[in-house]
């Protein structure tokens, strides 16, 4: 059943409310781009998202609410990406891309859901030195995220920032559950390694 908020937003969209369209784009643009990025890469991701939005506008009146609004939007995006650049679809080998700064063991993560068992150290101080460290760490993490493979970064974004379930990611990206788990695990390892290395050395 469609969530109440989704149903109200769709009503506003069908009524032609411009603010509703702005809300829709601001809420789901990043997730749609992550799906497109995972399938076609950075070069064509924005074009695919534009194509997806056109399809959304054309198909909105036909949306029956059998899935959440987010799932519907991401499915349209995935179909647009696969239809336009089908040749770019690919799987990532399960044993590639070792973690930086040495290998971190699986004991850092839950075998049940892959979440960290031991979270990275969190900065809660407001001193200039602490704030500077926060900014430096943020830059290190941005560098690490950019170093991830396309599928790694997309799986991490869809899972951690967009809150998608593993099965949803599998369906959108057309990769196996085991591959999603490995991609997510390796991406988290790299993020954790960056934080740990920064704590020990103060450098990326």
Q: Give the integer Cα–Cα distance in Å for 34 and 141.
A: 18
- Give residue 118's pLDDT: 55
Same-fold call for 4-88 versus 106-201: no
Q: Give the integer Cα–Cα distance in Å for 25 and 47.
A: 15
pTM of the shown model:
0.65
Topology (CATH level 3) of domain 4-88: Rna Polymerase Sigma Factor; Chain: A (1.10.1740)
Q: What is the DSSP string of 175-187?
A: --HHHHHHHHHHH
Whether the per-residue pLDDT at 21 is higher than 70: the answer is: yes
Residues 6 or more apart in contact with residue 152 via CB below 8 angstroms = 92, 97, 183, 184, 186, 187, 190
pLDDT tens-digit map of 37-66: 888 888 888 999 999 999 999 999 998 888
User: What is the CATH architecture of 106-201?
Assistant: Orthogonal Bundle (1.10)
- Give residue 83's pLDDT: 81
Q: For the chain, which residues make up each domain, given as ranges?
A: 4-88, 106-201
Whether the per-residue pLDDT at 138 is higher than 50: the answer is: yes
């Amino acid at each position: 059943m469609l969530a109440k908020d989704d149903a109200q937003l769709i009503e506003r969209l069908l009524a032609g409310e411009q603010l509703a369209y702005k809300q829709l784009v601001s809420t789901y643009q990043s997730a749609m781009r992550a799906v497109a990025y995972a399938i076609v890469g950075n070069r064509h991701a924005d074009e695919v998202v534009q194509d997806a939005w056109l399809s959304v506008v054309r198909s909105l009146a036909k949306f029956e609410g059998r899935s959440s609004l987010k799932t519907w939007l991401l499915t349209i995006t995935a179909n647009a990406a696969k239809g336009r650049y089908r040749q770019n679809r690919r799987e990532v080998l399960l044993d590639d891309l070792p973690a930086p700064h040495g290998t971190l063991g699986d004991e850092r993560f839950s075998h049940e859901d892959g979440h960290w068992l031991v979270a990275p150290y969190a900065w809660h101080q407001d001193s200039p030195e602490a704030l500077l460290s926060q900014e430096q760490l943020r830059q290190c993490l941005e560098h690490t995220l950019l170093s991830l493979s396309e599928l790694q970064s997309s799986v991490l974004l869809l899972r951690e920032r967009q809150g998608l379930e593993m099965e949803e990611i599998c369906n959108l990206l057309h990769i196996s559950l085991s591959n999603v788990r490995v991609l997510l695990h390796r991406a988290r390892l790299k993020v954790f390694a960056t934080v740990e290395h920064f704590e020990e050395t103060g450098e990326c």
